Amino acid sequence: MQKTIKKPVNLSSIALHTGQHTSVTFKPAKADEGIHFIRTDLPGAPSIKLGPQSVVTDHEVSRHTAIEANGVRVMTVEHLLAALNGLGIDNLTVEINGPEVPGLDGSSMDFVKALESAEIEDLDIPRRYLEINQPILVSNERASIMIVPCHDFQISYTIDYNHPLLAERTVCFDVKPQAFVQEIAPARTFCLEEEVEEIRARGLGKGADFQNTLVISDEGPINNSFRLPDECARHKVLDIIGDLFLLGLSVRGKIYANKSGHSLNHALVSKIDQQQRDPVMTKAQRVFDINEIMKILPHRYPFLLVDRVIEIERGKKGIGIKNVTINDGFFQGHFPAKPVMPGVLMVEAMAQTAGVLVQTGGDHPGQVALFMALDAVKFRKVVVPGDQLVMEVEIVRDRDRTAQVKGVGRVGTEVAVEADMLFSYTDAAYLKN
């Protein structure tokens, strides 16, 4: 059932970025009202309803999350939203007397304690969830975040800083209230010691200190200590839980995140919202099932190695999926005692995804793209039956006669293969002779 709280409760402290002392009062709300932030310090007490339309996406909020409506903004909402999402609270009025949510100890724990003290109660209407029906991937050169269909809300996060205490490691959680409270909510926000001056120069972190922010030196937190194992990675999970609640509903899906932060989280929220508003996603341009792929590519079983193209940004980039099963014919002869997908076929699967991309761009009618050259190939992880190879391809250069494409294939958050591919355009009639 949907949830709210029984009675009002108040919290106050210095805000992390503005340095102002602010106070929030949480008040019960009726079913289906959602989450509303009310700026009591402004004339008319303007309200901001939580939802994807309220997300602030400009570069000034890259180190926190902000919401806005009609020019009225509330900053650093992510730790509070994580508490609401983690506890399953759907309806709440948040009165705030300043531009930024109190920072408290830099985690979600004090919000959790306050909300629990206000007695969380069920309402008389069933809870609504946002169901992920197609995989969605957002990435840049350094990081990525992907969500795939799943009945629960699960997160796998890989942290990897050029730092002795924050080297590559992955944490995984099934986000349910008890696990959230015990294993995620206490994790505090952090920054590296060398980032402090840059953060201050941007006018941020005015309320941060060594108690509400873990400032990580090579030896460990300055004037502090870790509260949890992998606390920094857990806080990144906390941020995702908060940022995903910007959708206004709890999500059912599994997230694979690799070094992502608020900016990519916000981009994922935007793509999820787009998918929900346009679930068909215009197949002619966005999604191709196996039957549509066979209309584009000349390959057939057993050499058709892409099962679905889940997204095409026309003339720019695309995402394909190969579900690797023991029934794939190549496993009969390629290390049959220990089945491993051949590296050349991983590259071929990426090339076929690239073929769908370049041949649906609209700039080369009546032509077919043939694999011409390969460079910078790297195999980083074995792919075995049961894996799902997600292949992201991007057009680097598209000319009259050739196309240069960069491809990366991942299993979960781990890169399995990458390569630069060159295609040559020729008349489609060539394949009919």
Helix (H) or strand (E) holding 411: strand 402-411
262 as an active site residue: the answer is yes
Rounded to an integer, what distance in angstroms lies between the CA atom of residue 204 and that of residue 18? 7
DSSP state of 182: I
Other CB atoms within 10 Å distance of the CB of residue 162 = 7
Q: Which residues pair with 335 in a beta bridge?
A: none
With H, G, I as helix, E, B as strand and everything else as coil, classify residue 224.
coil
Phi, psi values for residue 274, rounded to 5°: -60, -45
Number of helical H runs and strand E runs in the chain: 8, 24
Check if the beta carbon of residue 405 is closer than 8 Å to that of residue 338.
Answer: no
334 as an active site residue: the answer is yes
Concatenating the DSSP letter of every residue in 54-118 gives GB--SGGGTTS--EEETTEEEB--HHHHHHHHHHT---EEEEESSSB---TTSSSHHHHHHHHHT
Those residues whose C-beta lies under 8 Å from the C-beta of residue 414, and which sit 6 or more positions away, are: 158, 258, 380, 381
Helix (H) or strand (E) holding 270: helix 262-277
DSSP state of 188: P
Residue among 64, 262, 266, 364 flagged as catalytic: 262
Length of the chain: 433
Catalytic residues: 262, 334
